[in-house]
Amino acid sequence: MTSAYVLINTEIGSEEEVLKELKQIPLVKEAHLVYGVYDIVALVEAPDLDKLKEAVTWKVRKLDKVRSTLTMIIVERGGK
């Protein structure tokens, strides 16, 4: 399994609309509104790197009111 955090900037005032649309994408496992430089942080998981890139490029980035993204591929997950 390949995972990434995707930091998303949206058009002003459309954060909740984009969040709702993100949660409809099957490979988006979590999505949260945040304060700061970015508007939304999403966790995307896919079977491999190609599927992950496809999901970010053709699903997340193509949402109408998404202005920009920054994808951070997870190398190792810490945990309990």
* pTM (two decimals): 0.92
Please choose, from the candidates 34, 74, 22, the residue with its C-alpha nearest in 3D space to the C-alpha of residue 52: 74
Q: Which domains does the chain have, with CATH numbers?
A: 5-73 (3.30.70.920)
Q: Residue 1 contacts by C-beta under 8 Å, 6 or more apart in sequence?
A: 45, 46, 47
Exposed / middle / buried, residue 13 (Cβ in 10 Å: 0-12, 13-18, 19+): exposed
Query: Do residues 42 and 30 touch, judged by C-beta distance below 8 A?
Result: yes
pLDDT one digit per residue (tens) for the chain, 80 residues: 999 999 999 999 999 999 999 999 999 999 999 999 999 999 999 999 999 999 999 999 999 999 999 999 999 877 66
